Amino acid sequence: MLPLAERMRPKTLNEYIGQKHLVGEGAILRQMIENGNLSSFILWGPPGVGKTTLARIIAHQLERPFYTLSAVTSGVKEVREVIDKAKRYAAMNSGLFGGEEKGDKHEGDRRAILFIDEIHRFSKSQQDSLLGAVEEGTITLIGATTENPSFEVITPLLSRCQVYVLKSLEKADLLELLNRAVHEDEHIHSLNIEVKETESILRYSGGDARKLLNILELVTNSGVKLIDNDTVTKQLQQNPVAYDKNGEMHYDIISAFIKSIRGSDPDAALYWLARMVAAGEDPKFIARRLVISASEDIGLANPNAMLIANACFDTLQKIGWPEGRIPLAMATVYLATSQKSNSAYMAINHALEVVEKTGNLPVPLHLRNAPTKLMDELGYGEGYKYAHDFPNHFVKQQFMPDALQGTKLWHAQGSPQEQKMAEWMKYLWGDEAKK
């Protein structure tokens, strides 16, 4: 018998749960499907939200050949083989067989769809091998990734694809899926399951449809007839791998990891790091989070933290795995034991709020560049004082727009490093630095 998640996989858009912003009435992907005019795109979202399912539904509804590759197991050779198949198919279906007969709902467009799961794991050479086929229209590429494509997909390929963001399923979506599984799956329905409480199963699923169905299957296979919060919790405590297999708690564990660093607990941070290493988490994913933590949580209290985090990232790429776990551990302990400050993080957020409220305020004339004669005649740059010509490489002048004079965005926090910076600002600006 197939797993419950496979048995419940929807086959049409009407059966598909969630992502209304993409496939709801009038939404962009639904319009593309209904028009039969499909361009290459990448689906970015957390595990279990329906990326693979959506790709399959699209291929089925458009009656296109559907090839699927996993970035984990496929290389350049497999990519080229699929592209060759797509070319042969296109040649066979051109002209007389091109689907251009009157009445064909998708006339003229029989391009094969190539679905690549975990496209962020494709190397540069693997991604390069796709470029020609995507650009020429030999294939329509649908990529799926849990990582930000701007970091992991090469720019030439990214520029040829739209990126659509899939969201974690909401409570209503998960409840609909649960109800559908209990009443529509033949096997589950035959067990006469009663669902009394749903808080635990929803909490453990974390917006992941596949995880929710796996939990339901685990609980019902154990002989349970009544699903409530205690039952679900007990079953999962006894079988933790059932809901964390292959790192499915990816987002929960990385959250615990970062919060342990922020909370200055190196032991807890190392534990969560070990959990990710043992589960086979992508090391670059961990390293990127360390860089983010260094800037967001440690910041100006210890600017060296950013250097350490970046050095960890670089070292990891040079030495690979499994030795890469050592610089990850080193950076983790350094960041966890470092003094903390989020003043830069708070300052940029405050600045963005100001920009949103005040709009595009004009740049003061003396700060403007004057690359043309007309601009020079209009006074652009006039009165600007070159700081390096003055003692301490500083001279008082206006840098904010007129409407924001005196606005304070950055506030030093209590670390010795930032207090030193604040004292220097006070020395230069005098009372103005206190505002």
Residues known to be catalytic: 51-52, 117, 146, 210
Token pair belonging to 265 = 């607990």
Q: Where are the alpha helices (DSSP H) in 106-228?
A: 124-136, 149-152, 155-158, 171-184, 186-190, 199-205, 209-221
Contact between 191 and 153 under an 8 Å Cβ cutoff? The reply is no
Q: Which of 287, 23, 293, 15 is nearest to 167 (CA)?
A: 23
Token pair recorded at residue 263: 């909370």
Helix (H) / strand (E) containing 21: helix 20-23
Residue 242 has which token pair? 């059932």
In terms of DSSP bridges, do strands 112-117 and 139-145 run parallel, antiparallel, or are they unpaired? Answer: parallel
Can you tell me whether residue 164 is helix, strand or coil? strand
Instruction: Assess whether the previous peptide bond of 3 is cis (omega < 30° from 0).
Output: no
C-alpha closest to that of 119 among 161, 56, 90: 161
